Amino acid sequence: MSTVTSARERKAGPAVKPPASSTEARSASVLSTLRRQWRRTLLVAVVLLWVVLWAVLHGTQTLEIGGADKTDVHLWLNSVRDAFDSARTNSAFFEYVVQPITDGVNGLVTFLQSLFSQGTATRPVPQVGWLGVVALLAWLTFTFAGIRSMILVAVCVLLFGFFGYWQQSIDTLIVTFVTVVLCAVVGLPLGIWMARSKRASSVLTPVLDLMQTLPSFAYLAPLALVFGIGPAAAIVTTIIYSLPPLVRITEHGIRNVSPTTLEAVTSMGGTAWQTLVKVQLPMARRTIVVGINQCTMAALSMATIAALINGPGLGQPVLQSLQSLDVGGAFVSGLAIVLMAVMLDRTTTAASERSVVAARFQKRSRSGLMPGPKRRVTIVTIGAVLAGVAVYLSHSYLALAQFPASPDLGSPLASAVSNATQWVVNTFAGFTGWLKDTVTAALVDPLQSLLAQAPWWVMVIVLLGVALALGGLRAAAVTVVCEAVILGTGLWNESMKTLATTLVATLLVIVAAMALGVWMGRSKIVDSAIRPILDALQTIPSFVYLVPALALFGPTRFTAIIAAFCYGVPIATKLVADGIRGVSPVTVEASESMGTTSWQMISKVQLPMSRSAVVLAANQGLLYVLSMVVVGGLVGGGGLGYLVVAGFSQSQLFGKGLAAGIAITALGVMLDRITKYTAARLGRD
């Protein structure tokens, strides 16, 4: 009987469920939609909850403290500083580890200064005067980068003296040189190790990520606590900031050597050392020099900021001019930094292309158009002899040792810039005031109110919800830890103010980067015209961006936003342009064949297909903006940056400034992880 029944059931087919009611169907549809779009639903719910709770609880439980008030954490950090001061004389670790490093670095810098930039108690001028320095730098540049770079270096170095900043400029070069040499000693072996060991790469990569994520201001107070203020702390700070790009680019260059070449060497019985020395390093030489270029530019940028911890160099006159609102003086010293950045960038770039230039040189020498290798060696040797003569003369004669007082280009230029700035401010005061007031009233004040005037626990929930919706569980986990750190510093309210300024500046950066990046990505002519400008803007150290912003808008939060905008636009624009250009040509051609308009192509095809690049641009733009916003504390930006500066200038606020640096670090890590995990998720979708 059961057999017959089974046969009938198979013949009749599966049982048909009774139709669901319309209510059940709607519920199932809603649940299915929520499952597919839970991130968007969560984000909308979090924003609605935020606005409602802010409207009800506005101004309560904000954890705001006065500028001179200190929490128990700040007092404890002050006691930690005092303990460090005591440990410098009583601790074996400080006596036998930290102090020798400090004395060694300070001694090296002092020796180089007495050699090239400053006099001593026994000799009022340096051992090598200005003529010898110019000749040495010109000869070294010609040897490694060619005649064009030599002319550029000679002109820039002479302008340093004509601007009235000879000693400060040479000091900056000394700090940058020492930093890059130490970075090379540490970074090149690390990059090689990471390229040859996946385990080493997996361990060191998060450390490098953290070093690159931290805003530059966050390094200053902790290292000043350990090494004291002065050249040693400045150089260690600069090393931490400029080491990661060298390590990463070295790893990239070694890892990307052709596997076929490596297999051929191995098959011929080459050892690991022979493979490295004879194959990988020579083939990755150009990439490694690019890493040295990036390390040099980062070192120069940080060396100027290190003026806050008494680092020698051009950062000192810039800082003094900013504090006294001397726009002309800040412009001239800032211009010297820009010239130095251009000089170092072009020289190291030319050195990175040396192999190609050398090949062309040899080809022309064989054709008789250029002197051959032997003649080049002769020229370099003659140059060395002439440089040696110049060094001897500058050592022996005061006129060639002390840079001449005339012609003085710095004072007239500073006066002209001050007058021009005053004219611009008076002429365009209506527009600049309108722009500042409009952006502040329409964006900064409302967002700051939403962030800083909401109860702290509301913002904890909101940031956690946003992290979960955008980046997933890993981003939410990092956000919880960072929120706990910020709360622990006692500077939650100031952190929210800094976050508001950062988000407004980032929004402006992304809008500009989207417009320019899409334009560049769709037009090679536009790209070739705009990209050199972006390259030049990326060359300028962050400190310098404060000068024109201060000149136009005075010491306000908006000044920090404008400086951060100018600093973040170049990198974000390049990433967007590269993302648009990376969209498959086949997809673009198929869309064009269907008659899509330019706007439809951008909005429906290119931007959706390059969304991971756009989010990465937002990530990099946000980090650049955050690092610049906190530097904006020097020009009235307020927030955490102001507290860091106050911690250096007022000893009783050192603990609060150190806590602000910790809060900046936590804020930077949180924003970085949210945007990075979001970019990774969009790349998978």
DSSP 199-237: HHHHHHHHHHHHHHHS-THHHHHHHHHHH-SSHHHHHHH
- Per the prediction, the chain carries an average pLDDT of 84
Mean pLDDT of 614-630: 84
Size (the chain), residues: 685
CA distances 542 to 302, 352, 448, 515, 626, Å, are 9, 24, 24, 23, 12
Q: Give pLDDT, residue 25.
A: 59
CA 534 vs. chain centroid, Å, equals: 15
555: left (phi over 0), alpha (psi -120 to 50) or beta: beta
Considering the chain, what percentage of its residues have pLDDT values greater than 70? Answer: 91
Mean pLDDT of 98-115: 90
In degrees, rounded to 5, the angle at the alpha carbon of residue 76 between the alpha carbons of residues 487 and 631 is 60
Q: What are the residue ranges of helices labelled H in 130-165?
A: 130-145, 147-162
Q: Give pLDDT, residue 19.
A: 52
63: left (phi over 0), alpha (psi -120 to 50) or beta: left
Distance CA 274, CA 297 (A): 32
CA distances 664 to 177, 220, 226, 308, Å, are 29, 12, 19, 17
Contact 172, 304 (CB under 8 A): yes
- In this chain, the answer to whether the domains covering 100-116+168-352 and 493-684 adopt an identical fold is yes
In degrees, rounded to 5, the angle at the alpha carbon of residue 183 between the alpha carbons of residues 334 and 155 is 35
Distance CA 592, CA 162 (A): 58
For residue range 258-308, what is the model confidence (pLDDT) as tens digits?
Answer: 777 777 777 777 777 777 777 777 888 878 888 888 888 888 888 888 888
Q: Give pLDDT, residue 1.
A: 41
Distance CA 549, CA 560 (A): 8
Distance CA 237, CA 223 (A): 7
Q: What is the DSSP string of 363-416?
A: HHHHHTSS--HHHHHHHHHHHHHHHHHHHHHHHH-HHHHSPPS-S--HHHHHHH
- Assess if CATH 1.10.3720.10 describes domain 100-116+168-352: yes
Q: Give pLDDT, residue 165.
A: 92
Mean pLDDT of 553-568: 88
Residue 366 has pLDDT above 60, yes or no: no
Tokens of 167: 């000693």
Q: Give pLDDT, residue 578.
A: 84
Contact 162, 410 (CB under 8 A): yes
Give helix 473-489 / helix 492-522 axis angle, nearest 10°.
Answer: 140
Contact 577, 514 (CB under 8 A): no
Q: How many other CB atoms are there within 10 angstroms of residue 181's CB atom?
A: 11
Contact 63, 492 (CB under 8 A): yes
Residue 367 has pLDDT above 80, yes or no: no
Contact 114, 120 (CB under 8 A): yes
Amino acid at 259: P
> Which of the residue ranges 21-25, 42-46, 268-272, 494-498 would you say has the lowest mean pLDDT?
21-25
Q: Give pLDDT, residue 7.
A: 47
Mean pLDDT of 584-608: 82
Tokens of 105: 């670095």
Residue 653 has pLDDT above 60, yes or no: yes
Higher-confidence residue of 433 and 3: namely 433
Q: Give pLDDT, residue 500.
A: 92
> Which of the residue ranges 21-25, 129-133, 164-168, 662-666 would you say has the lowest mean pLDDT?
21-25
For the chain, percent helix, then strand, then coil, each to nearest 5?
85, 0, 15
Residue 11 has pLDDT above 80, yes or no: no
For residue range 325-357, what is the model confidence (pLDDT) as tens digits?
Answer: 788 888 898 889 889 988 988 888 887 776 445
For residue range 205-248, what is the model confidence (pLDDT) as tens digits?
Answer: 888 877 877 777 777 878 888 888 888 888 998 898 889 888 98
Tokens of 556: 């306000």
Q: Give pLDDT, residue 159.
A: 94
In degrees, rounded to 5, the angle at the alpha carbon of residue 113 between the alpha carbons of residues 107 and 118 is 130
Domain-wise residue ranges, the chain:
100-116+168-352, 493-684
Residue 385 has pLDDT above 90, yes or no: yes
For residue range 498-535, what is the model confidence (pLDDT) as tens digits?
Answer: 999 999 999 999 999 999 999 998 888 988 888 888 88
Helix H or strand E segment including 244: helix 231-255
Mean pLDDT of 374-397: 88
Tokens of 203: 């361990």
- Residue 464: CB partners within 8 Å, gap ≥ 6? 476, 479, 480, 483
Q: Give pLDDT, residue 133.
A: 93
Mean pLDDT of 21-35: 58
Contact 342, 155 (CB under 8 A): no
Collapsing DSSP states into helix, strand and coil, what is residue 557? helix
Mean pLDDT of 101-111: 90
Contact 565, 512 (CB under 8 A): yes
**Burial letters 276-293, b for 16+ CB under 10 A, else e:** beebbbebbeebbbbbbb
Q: Give pLDDT, residue 35.
A: 55
For the domain 493-684, what is the CATH code?
1.10.3720.10
Q: Give pLDDT, residue 354.
A: 62
Residue 386 pLDDT grade (very low, low, confident, very high; cuts 50, 70, 90): very high
Residue 358 has pLDDT above 60, yes or no: no
Distance CA 683, CA 135 (A): 52
Residue 21 pLDDT grade (very low, low, confident, very high; cuts 50, 70, 90): low
- Residue 555: CB partners within 8 Å, gap ≥ 6? 325, 635, 636
Residue 10 has pLDDT above 50, yes or no: no
